[in-house]
Structure 1
Amino acid sequence: MSHFNFHKSTYSTITGECVEVAVNIPHTVAIRDSKRPGGPLLRITPTAWKAFRTHMRGEPGCGGGPLFRPPA
């Protein structure tokens, strides 16, 4: 099994409430709770992830920016 390289969402809160996202495996986006790194993963397609991010950009309180930016 391939290893996911998770990165914290750019919307992490001071209390640590956030998700981590991995986009390093072809055709897969993995999402997990940063407080439970050994817990369950949500695996979706990059197309579904893009649609989710696009939808959330239009939601109040989501800042209008990307939910996830890979590290530079």
Structure 2
Amino acid sequence: MIIEKRYRVVSFINDLLLGVLYFIGSILFLTDVSQAVSISFFLAGSIMMIIRAGLNILKDLHINKITGPKKE
């Protein structure tokens, strides 16, 4: 249970940062700032999405290691 809560907190922080990066990228894209700068924020947000998927995989692997595989 503690492990799940830790992954949930890290995932929440990741999602919050992802949203902030996309929001800033969107605002910068609409201003006179160089497109390279705004696209950099979008790319960083995309990397955060990949990290989100990785966190979910790590959480499942960690829980399976401790509890054993689920029998369906």
Q: Give TM-score scaled by structure 1 length.
A: 0.31
Q: Which has the larger radius of gyration?
A: 2
- Ranked by relative contact order (alpha carbons within 8 Å, sequence separation 6 or more), the top structure is 2
Report the structure, 1 or 2, having the larger strand content: 1
Report the structure, 1 or 2, having the larger helix content: 2
Q: Give TM-score scaled by structure 2 length.
A: 0.31
